[in-house]
């Protein structure tokens, strides 16, 4: 352990509220590291910005206007783990607001192969840019970046977590909730709904962050559907208990719970986190897939989501069923991330005003 490892370990042991406070600047959200940083009011604000942006972006004038908002800023995308959607949606979110982007997606082309520490690399990235978006195979890299820059850098830039290890993926949870809310627009919203989460819930950071964010809604019921060895971990269950969110565990078969579901959130097996080669293959996951012949068991309006990438958890024929929302979900990622960046840079009110003014001309 070097000096920074020791200091970060002390920071990391602080309570969640203390850490969350640390990620704020002048009382406002600055670094997006944990799903727990988002309460209902903040989620509602992000979604209000998202809806305005989507309307503004319908015209060429609107798109050109949006690009002026952060045209003077630059973002760095540091993704040392494979990504298609999260990378592209963050990058295009930056473009929508006019930000220029730099990227390192492969650690073998960064100075880390020359022996540079991750800490030095992170500080370097922040030297050239105004926002650092990070995806990492290891846990806590975003938290460490935020701690490091806020503690030692004269010019700390906001950090956004684009997925950290098997732990957190807050912006995915935010876009998932946006998709759920839109899916339930005509069914009285997300409050009161039963959400089935299925797949590798133990190591699936998207299911973990989504479950944590869902505690912001009323009368939600969660059904964690996974083989025993892939069930949701105790930390998330404890937080749900603490917030009086009701949940149950289904460890036998997805079919047992389909009739109850207002939404189904499918995920893939996260075998990149296996502790030995072939570990995941030892577990029978065949009863935890959504098949074409399961559809008659679903309610008329059950929303089917998946953070993607998908393997065979959802039959491709299901894609043309109106209940399949995953392609929309993917696109929602770009809009919600654009809204979040606008919020962090405190330019969201400008966007909301622009939208109101445009609307009043109609």
Q: Annotated catalytic, 135?
A: yes
Torsion angles phi and psi, residue 337, rounded to 5: -70, -35
Residues 156-195 that bind ligand NCD (CB under 6 A): 163, 169, 172
Q: Annotated catalytic, 348?
A: no
CB of 246 to ligand NCD, least distance (A): 26
Residues 56-115 that bind ligand NCD (CB under 6 A): 85-86
Which is nearest to 281 in space by CA: 266, 272, 289, 271? 271
Q: What does the angle CA 51 – CA 57 – CA 61 come to, to the nearest 5 degrees?
A: 140
CB of 211 to ligand NCD, least distance (A): 14
| x/- letters, 253..292, toward ligand NCD (CB under 6 A) | --------------xx------------------------
Q: Annotated catalytic, 28?
A: no
Which of 25, 48, 74, 85 is an active site residue? 85
307 lies in the binding site for ligand NCD (CB under 6 A): yes
Which is nearest to 171 in space by CA: 198, 217, 210, 143? 210
215 lies in the binding site for ligand NCD (CB under 6 A): no
Residues 211/180/169/200 CA torsion (nearest 10 deg): 60
Burial of residue 278 (CB within 10 Å: 0-12, 13-18, 19+) is: exposed
Q: Annotated catalytic, 203?
A: no
Peptide bond into 309 cis (omega under 30): yes
CA distance 228 to 201: 10
129 lies in the binding site for ligand NCD (CB under 6 A): no
Which of 54, 123, 144, 169 is an active site residue? 169
Residue with tokens 């579901």: 261
Q: Annotated catalytic, 169?
A: yes
CA distance 294 to 287: 11
Among 30, 217, 308, 354, binds ligand NCD (CB under 6 A): 308
CB of 125 to ligand NCD, least distance (A): 20
CA distance 297 to 292: 10
331 lies in the binding site for ligand NCD (CB under 6 A): no
Query: Which part of the chain contacts ligand NCD (CB under 6 A), choosing from 34-42, 222-230, 278-286, 302-310?
Result: 302-310
Residues labelled catalytic: 85-86, 114, 135, 169
Contacts with ligand NCD, residue ranges (CB under 6 A) = 85-86, 163, 169, 172, 205-206, 267-268, 307-309
């Amino acid at each position: 352990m070097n000096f920074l490892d020791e200091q970060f370990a002390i920071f990391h042991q602080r309570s969640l509220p203390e850490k969350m406070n640390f990620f704020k600047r002048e009382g406002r959200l600055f670094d997006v590291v944990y799903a727990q940083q988002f309460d209902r009011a903040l989620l509602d604000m992000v979604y209000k910005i998202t809806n305005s942006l989507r309307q503004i972006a319908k015209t060429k004038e609107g798109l050109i206007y949006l690009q002026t908002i952060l045209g003077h800023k630059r973002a760095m995308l540091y993704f040392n783990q494979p990504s298609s959607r999260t990378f592209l949606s963050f990058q295009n979110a930056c473009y929508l607001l006019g930000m220029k982007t730099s990227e390192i997606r492969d650690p073998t082309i960064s100075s880390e192969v020359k022996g540079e520490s991750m800490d030095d690399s992170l500080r370097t990235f922040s030297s050239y840019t105004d926002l650092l978006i990070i995806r990492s195979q290891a846990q806590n890299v975003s938290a460490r970046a935020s701690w490091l820059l806020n503690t030692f850098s004269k010019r700390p830039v906001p950090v956004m977590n684009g997925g950290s290890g098997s732990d957190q993926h807050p912006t995915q949870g935010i876009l998932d909730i946006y998709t759920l809310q839109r899916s339930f627009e005509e069914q009285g919203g997300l409050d009161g709904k039963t959400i089935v989460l299925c797949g590798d819930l133990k190591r699936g950071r998207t299911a973990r962050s989504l479950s944590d964010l869902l505690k912001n809604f009323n009368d939600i019921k969660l059904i964690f559907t996974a083989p025993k060895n892939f069930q949701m971990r105790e930390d998330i269950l404890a937080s749900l208990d603490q917030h009086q969110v009701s949940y149950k565990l289904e460890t036998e078969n997805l079919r047992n719970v389909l009739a109850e579901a207002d939404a189904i959130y499918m995920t893939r097996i996260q075998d990149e986190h296996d502790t030995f080669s072939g570990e995941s293959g030892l577990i029978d996951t065949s009863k935890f897939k959504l098949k074409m012949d399961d559809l008659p068991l679903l309610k008329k309006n059950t929303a089917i989501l998946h953070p993607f990438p998908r393997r065979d958890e959802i039959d491709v024929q299901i894609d043309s069923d109106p209940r399949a929302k995953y392609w929309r979900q993917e696109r929602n990622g770009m809009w919600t991330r654009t809204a979040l960046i606008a919020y962090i840079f405190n330019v969201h009110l400008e966007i909301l005003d622009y939208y109101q003014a445009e609307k009043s001309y109609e």
